[in-house]
Chain A
Amino acid sequence: MSKEIPLWEVFIRSKNGLEHRHCGSLHAEDAEMALNNARDVYTRRNEGVSIWVVESKHITASNPQDSGELFEPAADKVYRHPTFYELPDELKHM
């Protein structure tokens, strides 16, 4: 039965000011039901203040086979991290 029910990805914002984070997936017939289910499955221990759901089929994912050309070129470019600057002492929280 559950094979016919669409899959949804669930994103929860744990408190105001933080971003929504992906926390899992679930089955639901439609968006409203997906919200209800997300509330029941993922926020029953007080985990969230806001929920996003999106049907999984709408997510376009990168292909693991492409990871060589997509990600490896970045591996040897440490200079892209802004770690080569001298920070003034007055500057906190960087």
Chain B
Amino acid sequence: MKPIRELNPQFLESKENKQHLIDYLLGVADNYLILAQRLGELCGHGPNLEPDIAITNISLDLLGQVRSFYQYISQIKGDGSTEDDIAFLRKEREYRSVLLVQQPNTDFAYVIARQFFFDVFNKMFLNALQQSADETLRALAFKGIKEASYHERFSGDWLKRLGDGTEESHDKAQKAVNDLWVFTDELFQVNESDSAMIDAGVAPDMLQLREYYYEKVENLLTEATLEVPEVPYFQKGGKNGLHSEYMGYILAEMQYMQRTYPNSKW
């Protein structure tokens, strides 16, 4: 890991750097928001009380994370836009969330597999972000890592139990893993803003951790007696604003309140 270097105070005076940082942060934070929304849909619908509460807890953890990121973005923007504006008033193409987090709650196995694929990435990411040249991001990463570690423990434990459980749970887990696998690689996609932030030492270079990610995920799948899928290509698009058909519905539900009653607060 790179040693911490402090960001040059003039760094954000460049309009270009500022825009790259904002875009980069949206690419991070929008994943939290959309996944939190997806998990929130499950409130009161868990298979039984315990996972229902656990999943809602995770949703709230992610919302807490995303608020800090959006507050930081609104501070950098400095144009009076609030965290609510950023969360609720953008158009679909302006969201930078990956396709993985938009995937529907098809069944409990999908919820767990989606969560696990994201959690492994998120924990590695927050770990690396603690070396950021940006002081605020270091603090956010430090704060988030404990929650992220628990999320990974929760989803990983469940995936093992589903895979290594009954024949039915194994088949359902395998199907979810197979279907969601194509969305994992997008987590590592690097766009222009990401590159700029990696060069500035603000963002960790997640591509370097890609191999480690798949090693970790594949080890757990094997432990869960699940097969590691092989796909000819990976799906991408969300990070560039080209979302799946699900995104419009997610946003419609999520933005309804703010658009119907403008300026209401979280």
Does B8 count as interface, using CB distance less than 8 angstroms?
no
Please judge, given known A-B contacts A37-B54, A44-B53, whether A5 and B161 are in contact too, CB under 8 Å: no
Minimal Cβ-Cβ distance residue in A for B47: A1
Q: Mark A6-47, 1 if CB is under 8 A from B, else 0.
A: 000000000000000000001111101100110111001000
Q: Is the CB of B57 within 8 A of A44?
A: yes
For A37, what are the chain B residues with a Cβ–Cβ distance below 8 Å? 50-51, 54
Residue contact A28 to B50, C-beta cutoff 8 Å: yes
Q: How many Å from the CB of A1 to the closest CB on chain B?
A: 7
CA distance A3 to B77 in the complex (A): 53
> Please, which residues of chain B bring their CB within 8 A of the CB of A30?
161
B-contact 0/1 string along A56-81, CB 8 Å cutoff: 00000000000000000000000000
Quick one: given A36-B153, A36-B157, are A27 and B53 in contact (CB under 8 Å)? no
Q: Is the pair A40, B48 in contact by a Cβ cutoff of 8 Å?
A: no
* Structural contact, B53 and A40, CB atoms closer than 8 A: yes
- Contact yes or no, A32 B49, CB < 8 A: no
Residues on A with beta carbons closer than 8 Å to the beta carbon of B49: 26-27, 41
B157 touches A40 (CB 8 A): no
- List residues 45-63 of chain B with CB under 8 A from any CB of chain A: 47-51, 53-54, 57
Task: List 20 additional contacts besides A36-B153, A37-B54; criterion CB under 8 Å.
Answer: A1-B47, A5-B48, A26-B50, A27-B48, A27-B50, A29-B161, A29-B165, A30-B161, A33-B157, A33-B158, A36-B54, A36-B154, A37-B51, A39-B150, A40-B53, A40-B54, A40-B57, A41-B49, A41-B53, A44-B57
Give chain B's interface residues, CB within 8 Å of chain A: 47-51, 53-54, 57, 150, 153-154, 157-158, 161, 165
